[in-house]
């Protein structure tokens, strides 16, 4: 196989800052110019029959640009016409030659950007069968998660057919022109189902001890190798630590045996993963410190000789650069950071670190996939709209002088997008710092400081596009008279408020903002009035300090504004800290020693407390009427429109920015 054209990074600032990321590596006979890989990521952008769409192609083309000569892997394909292996409604298929034209376009799109085109075979096993009434696995072990289909145990004939299907799909990948291939064995997909003692209870040659349980993998690798030839690099993604102790999963030592057997079977590079979808141990949420799992890469490096690749909370390039330098890792793999910013590694190479749109590890992307919806990103409004011209920022037809009232995420996102299009943009922020609600939110616990990275990014982009900042200045009617803008963008965010209920004067009330900033004096028994993200942050901070915390909120569930793939982390933490919650409830009145909570079923419950923290937000949009009165064009975005999440603020700002 031809080697990739040489990429010269020597004059790039990032190559000096992160020398280990931008040095070549050899996998089998192929030399890759850097240590960067975009990991296969389902995006649900293909049609529901497995054909690749323009949206899917453009999504991948942008990521291929981003890896600056590195490896770019398309999403895993399912390989059986019965669709037992299909885990996502928009998953690409490769079980017939009819898929070849689309796969060829995909390989060409990736190679066209100078990246190494990688193709993944992914039978989703007990996570599969998304379009049918069952999925398959080595044994009939019932599902722990309700969203997955009932498992049907595979017969030996099923196993032989599945291995053959892997080989046939691999052949199509090679025919399509992909230069590298990999087999997915992560998070509970078929390969891992066979390897794990949790899901493989077979007593035949495909079960038993770890060697028996690895036989399906070994046979698959050998059959795939037979059809792709001796030259093409073949990778496998394998679990180094299942984190399934509670249900009798593999030990980390058994996992390393699977690595050795994969290497022996002819694998050229192993991508290290940890955790299963069915594991209760989180691996990729924001509360997991970056670099936490590198010890598994190190273990893998000690166990096998082939190169080791890894993703999983390696967002900051300093971390993989150091790990590669120390010999604990060979390839920096990522998907979510490049969902958030497809050009992330390119910006690293160019030394533009503050222009990287940071992933905040919220997992909205995953939440969407599990709900059969196309990919979207919490912080990247263009994600999955790469092929749609109406989503791109184009030069403005009429240049305007625009005032943005508010330097939070909505205002800043709008500001740089509008400035990029040629408008003259002035951001006025009442406070002496930028960030709006995020400035406060980033003072929350468990990794929330990473949220402020979004403001750093937006600020850098604003500077790059010439946005003027006026900190410590409030937009008033007089200011509008003086400045006479063409347009006013009201991005003034929220204020915290509470309704007047009987006896409210009996207790000191403090706001959630004061709690997160550590300004509030609170007693030992606290009632938090609200159930959304600010309330959760306040509850966690106070409970961490040993306060007895009760949350009272109107919604059916805590954290209505937190996405479903992240809220479980908060619920777990609130539970661990002993925080009590009253859902679908409200404070009816204040008493001498607490409050009366009107809970479900009209039940009135006396709750003792010495402090009430109010955590509900109300929009601040007074300027809208002022501007209208003066005949100034006005638009309201972000929390000023409706208090919501960081994501809504960013998406509001972006959409207004491309339209104004």
Q: Which residues bind other proteins (CB under 8 A)?
A: 146, 580, 584, 599-603, 605-608
Shortest Cβ 599–other proteins spacing (Å): 6
Nearer to other proteins, 600 or 625 (CB): 600
CA dihedral defined by 168, 170, 173, 179, rounded to 10 degrees?
Answer: -150
Between the two ends of the chain, the Cα-to-Cα distance in Å is 50
Cβ at position 133, least distance to other proteins in Å: 11
Collapsing DSSP to helix, strand or coil, 228 comes out as helix
Residue among 146 and 500 whose Cβ is closer to other proteins? 146
Identity of the residue, 38 or 529, whose beta carbon is nearer to other proteins in the bound complex: 529
> Which residue's CB is nearer to other proteins, number 305 or number 601?
601
Nearest approach in angstroms of CB 609 to other proteins is 10
Shorter beta-carbon distance to other proteins: residue 100 or 605: 605
Q: What does 572-639 look like in DSSP terms, one character per residue? A: HHHHHTT-EEETT-EEEEEETTEEEEE-GGG-EEEEE-SEEEE-EEEE--HHHHHHHHTT-EEEE-GG
CA–CA dist 180, 117 (Å, integer): 6
Between residues 195 and 579, which has the closer beta carbon with respect to other proteins?
Answer: 579
Please return the burial class of 580, using the count of CB atoms within 10 Å of its CB with bins 0-12, 13-18 and 19+.
Answer: middle
Say which residues have a Cβ less than 8 Å from residue 209's Cβ, sequence separation at least 6: none
For tokens 């939440």, name the residue. 367
Q: Please identify which residue in the block is written with the tokens 């942008």.
A: 62
Closer to other proteins at the Cβ: 157 or 601? 601
Our CB check for other proteins shows the closer of 433 and 608 to be 608
Between CA 369 and CA 92, with CA 281 as vertex, the angle to 5 degrees is 25
- Min. distance of Cβ 601 from other proteins in angstroms? 6
**Alpha-carbon distance 307 to 292, whole Å?**
20
Taking a C-beta distance cutoff of 8 angstroms, is the pair 37, 309 a contact? yes
Rank residues 32 and 527 by Cβ distance to other proteins and give the closer one. Answer: 527
- 256/274 Cα distance (integer angstroms): 12
604-608 LR contacts (CB < 8 Å, sep 24+): 607/527, 607/550, 607/552, 607/582, 608/525
d(CA 656, CA 660): 6
Token output for 215? 């036989």
Q: In angstroms, what is the minimal distance from the CB of 600 to other proteins?
A: 7
Closest distance between other proteins and the C-beta of residue 595, in Å?
Answer: 10
Identify the sign of the CA torsion 367, 369, 371, 377: positive
Provide φ and ψ at 363, rounded to 5°: 70, 25
Instruction: Name the residue nearer to other proteins (CB basis): 476 or 603.
Output: 603
Q: Which residues are within 8 A (CB) of 141 and not within 5 positions of it... i.e. 6 or more apart?
A: 126, 151, 198, 199, 201
- In angstroms, give the least distance from the CB of 557 to other proteins: 12
Q: How far is the CB of 306 from other proteins (least distance, A)?
A: 46
CB of 582: closest distance to other proteins in angstroms?
8
Q: 271 with 309: CB under 8 angstroms?
A: yes
Evaluate whether 268 touches 212 at the Cβ level (below 8 Å).
no
Closer Cβ to other proteins, 89 or 607, answer by number: 607
User: Nearest Cα to 142, choosing from 132, 152, 155?
Assistant: 152
CB of 477 or CB of 600, closer to other proteins: 600
Q: Report the residue number, 104 or 591, with the smaller CB distance to other proteins.
A: 591
* Closest approach of other proteins to the CB of residue 312, in Å: 32
Q: Looking at 74-227, which runs of residues are DSSP E strands?
A: 116-121, 135-137, 151-153, 180-185
Cα distances (Å, whole numbers) of residue 563 to 363, 366, 567:
8, 10, 6
> Dihedrals φ, ψ of 634, to 5°?
-135, 140
351 beta partners: none
Closer to other proteins by CB, 134 or 399: give it.
134
400 by Cβ neighbours in 10 Å (0-12 / 13-18 / 19+) ranks as: middle
Q: Where does 34-78 have alpha helices with state H?
A: 54-66
């Amino acid at each position: 196989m031809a080697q990739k054209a040489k990429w010269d990074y020597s004059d790039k600032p990032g190559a000096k800052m992160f020398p280990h990321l931008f040095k070549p590596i050899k996998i089998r006979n192929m030399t890759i110019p850097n240590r960067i890989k975009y990991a296969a990521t389902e995006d649900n952008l293909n049609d529901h029959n497995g054909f690749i769409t323009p949206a899917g192609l453009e999504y991948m083309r942008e990521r291929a640009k981003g890896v600056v000569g590195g490896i770019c892997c398309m999403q895993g394909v399912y390989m059986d016409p019965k669709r037992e292996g299909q885990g996502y409604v928009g998953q690409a298929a490769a079980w017939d030659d009819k898929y070849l034209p689309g796969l060829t376009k995909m390989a060409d799109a990736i190679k066209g950007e100078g990246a190494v085109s990688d193709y993944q075979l992914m039978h989703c096993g007990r996570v599969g069968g998304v379009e049918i009434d069952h999925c398959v696995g080595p044994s009939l072990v019932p599902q722990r998660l309700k969203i997955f289909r009932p498992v049907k145990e595979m017969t030996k004939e099923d196993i032989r057919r599945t291995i053959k299907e892997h080989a046939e799909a691999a052949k199509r990948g090679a025919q399509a022109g992909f230069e590298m291939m990999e087999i997915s064995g992560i998070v509970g997909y078929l390969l891992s189902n066979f390897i794990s003692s949790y899901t493989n209870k077979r007593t035949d040659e495909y079960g038993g001890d770890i060697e028996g349980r690895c036989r399906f993998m070994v046979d698959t690798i050998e059959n795939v190798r037979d059809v792709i030839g001796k030259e093409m690099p073949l990778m496998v993604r394998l679990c180094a630590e299942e984190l399934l102790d509670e249900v009798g999963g593999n030990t980390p030592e058994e996992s390393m045996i699977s690595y050795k057997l994969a290497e022996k079977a002819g694998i050229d590079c192993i991508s290290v993963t940890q955790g299963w979808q069915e594991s209760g141990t989180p691996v990729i949420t924001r509360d997991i410190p970056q670099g936490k799992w590198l010890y598994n890469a190190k273990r893998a490096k000690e166990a096998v000789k082939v190169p080791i690749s890894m993703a999983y909370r390696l967002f900051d390039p300093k971390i993989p650069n150091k790990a590669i330098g120390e010999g604990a890792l060979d390839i920096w793999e990522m998907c979510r950071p490049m969902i958030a910013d497809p050009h992330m590694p390119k910006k690293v190479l160019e030394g533009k670190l503050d222009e990287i749109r940071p992933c905040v590890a919220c997992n909205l992307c995953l939440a969407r996939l599990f709900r059969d919806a196309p990919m979207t990103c919490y912080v990247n409004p263009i994600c999955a709209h790469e092929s749609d011209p109406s989503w791109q920022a184009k030069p403005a037809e009429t240049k305007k002088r625009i005032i943005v009232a508010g330097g939070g995420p909505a205002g800043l996102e709008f500001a740089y997008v509008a400035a990029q299009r040629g408008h003259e943009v002035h951001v006025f922020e009442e406070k002496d710092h930028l960030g709006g609600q995020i400035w406060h939110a980033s003072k929350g616990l468990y990794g929330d400081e990473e949220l402020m990275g979004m403001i750093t990014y937006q600020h850098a982009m604003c500077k790059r596009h010439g946005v003027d900042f006026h900190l410590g200045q409030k937009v008033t009617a007089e200011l509008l008279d003086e400045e006479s803008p063409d347009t006013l963008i009201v991005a003034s965010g929220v204020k915290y408020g509470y309704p007047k209920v009987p006896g409210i004067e009996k207790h000191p009330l403090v706001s959630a903002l004061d709690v997160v900033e550590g300004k509030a004096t609170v007693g030992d028994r606290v009632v938090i009035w609200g159930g959304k993200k600010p309330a959760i942050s306040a509850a966690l901070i106070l409970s961490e300090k040993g306060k007895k915390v009760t949350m009272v909120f109107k919604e059916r569930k805590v954290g209505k504004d937190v996405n479903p793939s992240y809220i479980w982390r908060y619920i777990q933490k609130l539970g661990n800290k002993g925080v009590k919650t009253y859902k679908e409830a409200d404070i009816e009145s204040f008493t001498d020693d607490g409050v009366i909570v009107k809970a479900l079923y009209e039940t009135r419950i006396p709750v003792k407390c010495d402090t009430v923290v109010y955590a509900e937000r109300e929009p601040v949009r007074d300027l809208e009427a002022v501007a209208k009165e003066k005949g100034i064009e006005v638009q309201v975005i972000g929390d000023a429109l409706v208090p919501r999440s960081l994501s809504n603020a960013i998406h509001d700002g972006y959409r207004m920015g491309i339209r104004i």
